[in-house]
Amino acid sequence: MSTKPTITNNIRSLRFNSNEMTQSDLASKVGVTRQTIVAIEKAKYYPTLELAFLIARVFNKKVSEVFKVKFHD
């Protein structure tokens, strides 16, 4: 069995390119705290599938355009 995958994201750059949206603005749009957005951006916390879709929707992107997964064999 392979080890856990590594999940990264480009939320910070998407926020910057969206009129420099703050972490608080994004948090408010998806119904979480700013601290949750901070943790997701730093890959300290992986969002639920529902939250990942909500974040992607804010930026009008597919989930796969916001989050990347790397499998370690």
Query: Residue 59 domain-assigned?
Result: yes
| 12-40 CB burial, b ≥16 within 10 A, e <16 | eebbeeeeebebeebbeebebeeebbeeb
Query: Which residues partner with 68 through β-bridges?
Result: 8
Binned at pLDDT 50, 70 and 90, residue 3 comes out as confident
Residue 1 pLDDT > 60, yes or no? no
Q: Give the CATH number for residue 57.
A: 1.10.260.40
In the block, tokens 């599938």 appear at 49
Picking from 51, 50, 55, the residue whose alpha carbon sits closest to that of residue 14 is 55
Range of the structural domain that residue 52 is part of: 6-70
Residue at 52 is within a domain:
yes
Indicate the number of domains in the chain.
Answer: 1
Mean pLDDT across 33-51 = 97
1 domain-assigned: no
What pTM does this model have? 0.91
